[in-house]
């Protein structure tokens, strides 16, 4: 079945350092969403990417959708302690069914 992998699985960074998580799908995606889940919390929607090669920015966060619509990345510039959490990508299949497959997630820890 379809798989969505993320690397790295864990990342510890010093506050102020940059962070990137990569999302790779085994199949072409219709679109991709990114979520953040704080420890003990529920996933919170960050952004959605639809177009091939699309790049979107939210303050210190930069999201990119690959040309082939099979991969995506999230880059955080100058991390802060509030960035701590697990970042998930979720890819929508190109089949007729409306559903999203969540990536394996990247857990970020920021050391002050």
Partner 1 sequence: GAVVSQHPSRVICKSGTSVKIECRSLDFQATTMFWYRQFPKQSLMLMATSNEGSKATYEQGVEKDKFLINHASLTLSTLTVTSAHPEDSSFYICSATGQVGDQPQHFGDGTRLSIL
Nearer to partner 1, 16 or 41 (CB): 41
Phi and psi dihedrals of 81, rounded to 5? -60, -25
Tokens 């998580």 map to which residue?
21
Q: Which stretch binds partner 1 (CB under 8 A): 13-21, 39-47, 64-72, 76-84?
A: 39-47
Per-residue DSSP letters for 46-62?
A: EEEE-STT-EEEETTEE
- Pattern of binders to partner 1 over 42-81, x per CB under 8 A? xxxx--x-x-------------------------------
Q: Which stretch binds partner 1 (CB under 8 A): 19-27, 28-36, 59-67, 71-79?
A: 28-36
Cβ atoms 18, 84 nearer than 8 A: no
Nearer to partner 1, 98 or 112 (CB): 98
Largest CA distance in the chain: 46
């Amino acid at each position: 079945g379809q798989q969505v992998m993320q690397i790295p699985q864990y990342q510890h960074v010093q506050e102020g350092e940059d962070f990137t998580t990569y999302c790779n799908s085994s199949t072409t995606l219709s679109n991709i969403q990114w979520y953040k889940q704080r420890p003990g919390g529920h996933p919170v929607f960050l952004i959605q990417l639809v177009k091939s090669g699309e790049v979107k920015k939210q303050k210190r966060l930069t999201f990119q959708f690959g040309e082939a619509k099979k991969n995506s990345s999230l880059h955080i510039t100058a991390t802060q302690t509030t960035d701590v959490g697990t970042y998930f990508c979720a890819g929508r299949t190109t089949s007729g069914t409306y559903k999203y497959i969540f990536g394996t997630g990247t857990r970020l820890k920021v050391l002050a």
